[in-house]
Structure 1
Amino acid sequence: MKSLEAGEPAEVGRYRVFAVLGQGGMGRVLLGRSPDGRLVAVKQVRPGFAHHSGFRERFRREVAASRMVSGAFTAAVMDADPDAPTPWLASMFVPGPSLAEAVAAGGPLPPYSLRYLAAGLAMALGEIHRAGLVHRDLKPGNVILTGDGPRVIDFGIARAIEGDSELTHTGAIIGSPGFMSPEQARGQAIGPASDLFSFGSLLVMAATGQGPFTGSSTPHTLYNVVHAQPDLSRVPDDLRRIAEACLAKDPGDRPDPAWVLRQLGPIAPAADPWPQPVPQLFEAQQAEVRELLNPPAPKHSRRVLISGIAVAVVVLLVAAAFVAIKLLKPPEPAPAVASAPPPGTAVTTPVNPDPLGPDNLRRVDLCKVLAGWEAPVLGALAVTSPGRRLDCLYGALKLGVGPSPIESVPAGDLEGLPMYTSTFGSSCTAAVPVAGLQNVMLLSEIGGPLSPDEMCAVAKAGLGEAVRRIRAGGHGRDMAPKSLIGLDPCALLWPERVARVIGPVRATALEDLHQCVYQADGTLRLVVELGYPPHGPEQAAAGGVVPVEVGGTTVYRDERPSGGPPGCALTWQHRAMTERVGENVRVTYEREGGKTTQQTCAKAEEFVSALLPMLPKP
């Protein structure tokens, strides 16, 4: 751990760097500052990696995926340059002690802190996996405890290096032995389920002060990871159930982050989520980093000048060592102590904190957002078509969430977001992306007798006002406690469980706020929607719909669903809202090659049977 050597570049890309925070097998970490004054952690990849075929392209893909991850519970990726002579990635510098430091200094976390930690980590993993990433090295040193929750750091590089057989010899593994998954310890291919195993190990360590598989040596630890059953007797009861499920040796038996969050239930806000000495560690680190970046000004006296230089050097070394230990070499955890289990919890799905993310937008009533707003040309807006799922009509202006508009083109920034506009036919649409989703936009559309320029001006103004109001909050839907409208359909079943029904899942995509698509040998769609009861006169008139019993629920099967390829659709009403409209769930499985209709419907029914127990009871 040292300051920059004389003659070393003081800038990496557009970031001014001050010190080396740490070095490891993949490169080094520098403390820097962005042009707008924010502190950043700049990870420089070892130059040797850049010379290997395919590394830069893999690194570019990993960085692009990392940028899709919300910064709510991670160190958000801010910038990168895969094409630099020494490739680098810049992420937010997250102040705070690591989980390893906190446990070493104060012992195991109390129950309320454990629940806070578990919820934050599950949210972080959900965002990482939704972006198509696997962390690969989730360990106590890569979890930072901040004042508003845990943060997961150091993702986005490991897979680019792991993907090259020249960089990682056969059987080589990337990760920390005590927190690896069995498949990772064996050097096998890994997926999101590997991170859930590491999450279970972290939870045990935080609750007891010791990792569940720690042995007398690295080979002993790896043997325990693959073969031994951990002792969970000192983990609180409700968290023990979560840890036990996550620590299943078979990846297919592990849950996903959404399941963990449902088991935890709502987490009450806390002004001080962490016990002592976490706040003291945080303040000490902040003071040392301030000294590192702003050493005392020298005096005119030669004696004072020499003394000041000596003090600054000492502060620099202490601060660099402190931050380096935090990032790269977490200390051994303190001895374990028992803790009492917290009270039982309810089942729920928490809200993603990004106001323009899909989880929050599901809970926004679009018909409340612009009501009463004085729109240019149109005047005060009033709702003319309430009760819709993904849009609301305010006379000539429509506010909605949907796919990118036809023939859209970039049109600058709107409220800090990239904006696109489309003039198609006699209408103009302005759109900004929904955070974390591809090709799903928040849109403002207007049509009518106005000129194209006038229409686009109104659409842009309406969209800007909608973004500001959604970020400000206060426009929530009036939803029943057991409503499905606020749930992420892709989080109801983890991909490994889906794969048991339809085979290996090549891709999982949220196509809009309420529709999840799994691509395997066939295509399975899960949709939550508002609509007529599936057994009503409209469905009866269509013909071909028959009731079947699946998991104790009457489900209506359509063996020839319209509007798509041959397959099987299963629909049931989860909750009635009025005599004619309710919340429906529809599962459509497009027929695989060579499969009969009966076989295709059997697969769809098997999926529904697995899904029903995961839904809240109306």
Structure 2
Amino acid sequence: MKPLNPGESRHVGRYRLVAALGEGGMGRVLLGVSPDGRLVAVKQVHPGFAHDDGFRSRFRHEVQASRMVSGAYTAAVMDADPDASTPWLASVFVAGPSLKEAVEAAGPLPPGAIRILAVGLASALTEIHRAGLVHRDLKPSNVLLTDDGARVIDFGIARAAEGDSELTHTGSIIGSPGFMSPEQADGRTVTPASDVFSLGGLLVMAATGRAPFGGWSTPQVLYNVVHGRPDLGSLPPVLRRLVEPCLAKDPAQRPTPAQILDHLGPVPPGSTPWPPAVHALICVQKEQVGRLLALPQPPVAEAPATPGKRRTRARTAVALALALVLGTAAVVAVKLSSADQRAGRDAGPNTGRPHPAAFTVEDLREIDPCKLFKRDSLPATGPMEQSDGKRIYFERCDFSFKDRPDKTASSTLVVNLYETLSESKGTPISIGGLSGFAKVDGIYCVVSIENPYSQGFAMTASSGRETGDPCATPTEAMNFLVPQIQYGTDARYPLSAGSALSSDLCAMTDSPPVPPGNPNKFSFTIQGLHRCLWIGQKDLGVYSVSLLSAPSEPGKAEQRDLDGVTVSEAILPSQDYGPACEITWAHHRIDDTSTEDVQLTYNDFDKKLSNEELCANAEQYARRVLAKLPPGS
């Protein structure tokens, strides 16, 4: 995006112009706002075309045909004026980089994203061809990658520049050499099969980063398109089987878009289409648009006389502010190696780059899941709010939906940033490039996204629904949550001095103490964000320490002094690991309504100890934890 020039018009037709999106062979594309507040992409043709009557006639015809194109994979034409001094058309604006920009910034797309791209392109061509149009200029810059898939733009408009116009003199070609069909490059009749050839070229470029036909010059590229063999050597076999027929020299040998869709099959529901770096570019563009719309706008009417100094200064200030916003917001997503992702947390929130330490235990400990979601974060489910009642776990938040537009939809949602991945995993899914599972149990569904750095652990979202898809709400929640963490959320706890929220509780003791007379060692530990559990060999018991916001009531508890700290000590009835002594104390006050409480539990696995012996062991562990905690308040 670029700022508009200070002196140029701020309106085209009924649309207020905000910024310049780009410029191509036929014209300039501008970001506009319709009277009802919708964003539009306004394309103004170059003045050279505007003076050609043949172009205006073809432009009028193609605009009328383009308005018949609809569907989820195109940016629909909303309005146009072929008779304006500078002809223009307005289509729905969709946020997202072009395929060209995405591959340049993030590298070739992975196989799963290629399949989603192929389905989107074939679906778009199905709608375009159904309207009697041929795109003629299907190239990487005319494919946008959005949050939910691909969008094809500028369909059919290239046809307006062809014909007997002086602008298309002998030897000139409308289209992009590396992606046009042999018949188009050779000046022969162009049919819908030409777009299928271009589709094949786009898939090669998306998978490899380069066009299937190379050359040192445009004539060499065109010769290779007509006579040469495409470079498909680096394609995986499954993609090559799709692409090769699309790139057949004979149009009759190419599949139709419908046949391509049959070959690909349906895309799994809930899939996040692109790699994290591409979604970062989408976020950047949305932030740019938001900042642009928030800027003060110049007056609608422009005086015909030379502006005075005050107006000149005001417009210059707006232009400079716009340039500053665009300059500071234009952050490019980059690919990070595994080492880069683990290197540290220096990316900060909302930078548009993948967060280097996203999903590490250290990063997740500081995130407040209750702050991640706003009231309107899940529009498909309805307005949400944190559930009433005491909050117990820092890594978990419970939400309710009280004013749902769909009364059969989920009434509750539980989000947990880090818990053990169930052995019974469910149906494989992918969100934000991370693998996971959706498991249905009756009317309930748990969507789990595996932690890339902690094997056996996952983020989960769970909900219930009496009718319809029980996984709809947790899937929508995960699609909202994962990108926030990937790019560095600022929904974090206030880590004031004395807080233990960022502490590794498994490091609170050098090693679990062994009861006197028993030479065995503890068998293994399980680490959570704010919990550590040691499970001992048979007669050693189980020892755990947790950091809680509001511990559950243990029943009858006694107040004791333990190394100068007042603790509550209670005997719990037999649990999975036997009876337990539970010791709880307040460690640090977060604010006026919440504290960090430490809860230590020691279980007698073999049920051999008296209550006094049980709590003596628990106190021994608690002293070691107290010595390691940061000084609380």
With normalisation by structure 2, the TM-score equals: 0.47
Ranked by relative contact order (alpha carbons within 8 Å, sequence separation 6 or more), the top structure is 1
Larger Rg: 2
